[in-house]
Amino acid sequence: MRDPVLLHRTPEETGLAGLSALDDALRRARDHLYALQEPGAPFWHAELEANSTLTSEYIFFSHILDRVTPERERMCVAELLSTQLGDGGWGIGDGRGGEISTSIEAYVALRLAGLAASAETMLRARAFILANGGLQGARMFTRIHLALLGLWPYDQIPSIPPALLMVPGLIYRMASWARSCVVPLIVILAHRPRWRGSLGLTIDELLPRGGAPEAYAPPKPPAGASWEYAFATVERAIRSLDRLGVVPLRKSALRRAERYILERQDDEGDWGGIFPAMTYSMVALVALGYPLHHPTIVRGWAAIERFGREREGRLRFESCVSPVWDTALALLAIRDAGGPADEPRLQAAGRWLLDKQVRHYGDWSVRNPEGSPGGWSFEFNNRYFPDNDDTAAVILALQSLELGSVEEAAYRDASIGAARGWVLSMQCKGGGWGAFDVDNDDVLWNRIPFADHGAMLDPPTPDLTGRVLEMLGNTGSREEAAPVRRALRWLAQEQRADGSWYGRWGVNFVYGTWAVLCGLAALKLDASEPMVLAGARFLTRAQNPDGGWGESCLSYDHDRFIPAPSCPSQTAWGVMGLLAAGEDDSLALLRGVRWLLKHQREDGGWDEAAFTGTGFPQHFYIRYHLYRDCFPTRALGLFARRQRSKPEL
C-alpha cells in the first residue's frame, strides 16, 4: 500500500500541520474566487493583459476613424508611459526587454497624442529603436499601421492579390485569426487609404542616419527554396501588373471581401472577437466608401471600446476578452476545491454558459461540412469562431454542476452532447485537435512574404488534444474508442525525447505536458505506461530548487525547456501533471504543494507577474489575471481529494 503523503509524514517533512492547513487554504481560495465573480453578473471576466501594441493601436485607429476622445487618449498615454522599460523600449512580456515593432508603435502613438520628439521619454525610445535597426526593423503589421497613418510607403508592404478570394476555399486554409484579418487587409492594400490628418507629422528621426525607407522588393531566395521562390516570383508579377493598372478579378474579389466582412460581424459589433480583425474591418469598409457614421462602423467602434480596461487613471486595451474561458476555469477550480455542486452562484454561472453555446454554422463548417454546431467561443460575442479548447473546458465545468430541475439537467446534458459531437467532428486526420479548424496545417502559408510573424496556421497541438481527451474521458470515452486511439497514437509521436509535450496556448512544455497527462489520466491510462512515466520525469526534472515551477517564454525561441522563477500558474500545472501521472507520493509533488501554500496570500489569492499564456509563440504573450488564482486553487483541491481517497494505515 502506498504511503499517503500528508497523513503519514511529519509536519517537519511536509511543512504543514496536516490536512487542516490544506482545508483552510482551500476555503480562502474559494472565497477569493467567489469575490472575483463579476459584480452583479453570473460570470467571471478577468483581464487578458498583453503588450502595449493594443493601446498604441487604439490611438492609431481612433485618429484614422475620427473617434478621438481626449480624456481616453490621455489615459492611454499614461499607460504607455508607465510601461516603458529601462532600455527605452516596450516589450512583449517575454523578459527580454524592449522589442522593436512594439516600441515603434508606442513611439508613434505618443507622437500622435502630442508628445514632442524632444521629450526625454521619446529620446530614450528613439535611441532604443535606432539601436535595433530603426523603422526598417518593423514587422509587416506595424508597416501597415504606419502606411495608414501616412508614415510609411505602401510600396514597402508585400502585396496580397485580391484574386485569392476568388479561389474556392483558399482563405479557409489560413487560421481563423489570419483569415479575419487578411480579408479586410486585401481591401486596405488594394485601396491604400491614408489618414487625412497625417500631414505635418513625420517620424524621420527613426530612420538610421536620416535616410528614407527603401521600397519593398520581394526577396530573391536560393534556387532550392521552392515555395519562397514561387511566392517571390508571383509577387513580382503582381506588382508589375499593378503598375500597369491590371489587377485580375479586382472588382469581383473586393465585392466578395465586402460581403465576407459584413456577414462576419456579430450583432453586438465584434468581428471574430479579436481587436485586429475589428479595426481592419472598419478601415476596409471606410476604404470601400462607407461613411464613418454608418451603423456597422458605429457598432464596431463600440465593440472596440469594450476592450479597454481603466485603472488608476490609465487605459489599457486587450486583444480579446475571455469571459467564457474565465468562467469555465473558475467553476472547475471552485468545484475541485470543494465548492458544492448546487451552490447558487455556480449554478447561475452554469446557466450563463449554456446561454453562450454557439448554435450557428461558422467558418469551421467549410472544412468540416459534416459537423453540427454546438461549441463555445472565448468571448462574449463570437458566433462564427467557436473553439475546441473553450468547448472542452465548458463541458468539464457544466458536468460538474447540479442545475436544479430535471428539465434543466436534461437541457444541460443535451447541450453537452451537442458540444461533444462538435468537438469529435473537429478531429484532424492525424488524430490531434487544433483550435478553430480542421486540418489547418498547410505550411506554405507561413512562407509567404506577408507572414513574417509565422502564425498563419492552426495545426493540431498536444495541449489542445490533451484537453479534449480529458473532456472525452470525463464524458464516457475510454482508450478503446476509435477517435481516442487515433489521438493517443498522435500524442505518442508528438512526445519529445525529454518526455515533454509542446504547449501552443500556454508557456510551454510544462503547460503542454500537464494538459496531456490530464487527458491520459481521464482515459484511465495506467500510470506505468511509458508515455506517462516519461511525462512525469520531465516535470520532476523541470522543478525549480524552491519547489515551484517556472518556464520562460524563451522556450519557444530555443525549442527546449528554459527555466524561469517559480510562479503560481506554472507551479499548479506541475502539481496537477504529477497528480495525473499517479505521482501521489513523490517528493516533487509535495514540494510543489508546499510552494503553493507558502505563497498564498491571506485573502486566498496569489501574486503573479509572469506572462504564462501564449497568443503567438515568439511574438505575442498573455498574462491572464485569473490564472494566478484558478489553477493553484484547482491543484490544491485535486491534491486534497487524492489524499482523502487513500486509506489510513
The per-residue b/e assignment along 252-286, b for 16 or more CB within 10 angstroms, e otherwise, is ebbebbbebbeebbbeebbbbbbbbbbbbbbbbbb
Cell of 230: 514561387
Contact at 8 Å (CB) between 608 and 568?
yes
Largest CA distance in the chain: 86
Q: Which member of 94, 389, 441, 458 is catalytic? A: 389
Please give the C-alpha separations between residue 317 and each of 143, 178, 259, 274, in angstroms, as whole numbers: 20, 20, 28, 11
Task: Name, in order, each residue with C-beta under 8 angstroms of 153's C-beta and a sequence gap of 6 or more.
Answer: 147, 213, 215, 216
Give the span between the Cα atoms of 151 and 135, in whole angstroms: 10
Q: Is 389 a catalytic residue?
A: yes
Look-up: residue for cell 454557439?
A: 358
CA dihedral angle for residue 611, residue 614, residue 619, residue 623, rounded to 10 degrees: -30
| Contact between 265 and 384 (Cβ < 8 Å) | no
C-beta of residue 93 within 8 angstroms of C-beta of residue 225: no
**CA dist list (Å): 422 to 172, 402, 408, 478, 507:** 18, 23, 21, 18, 27
Q: What's the 3-state SS for 548-578?
A: CCCECCHHHHHCCCCECCCCHHHHHHHHHHH
Task: Please check whether residue 155 is in contact with residue 215, taking contact to mean a CB–CB distance below 8 angstroms.
Answer: yes
Catalytic positions, please? 389
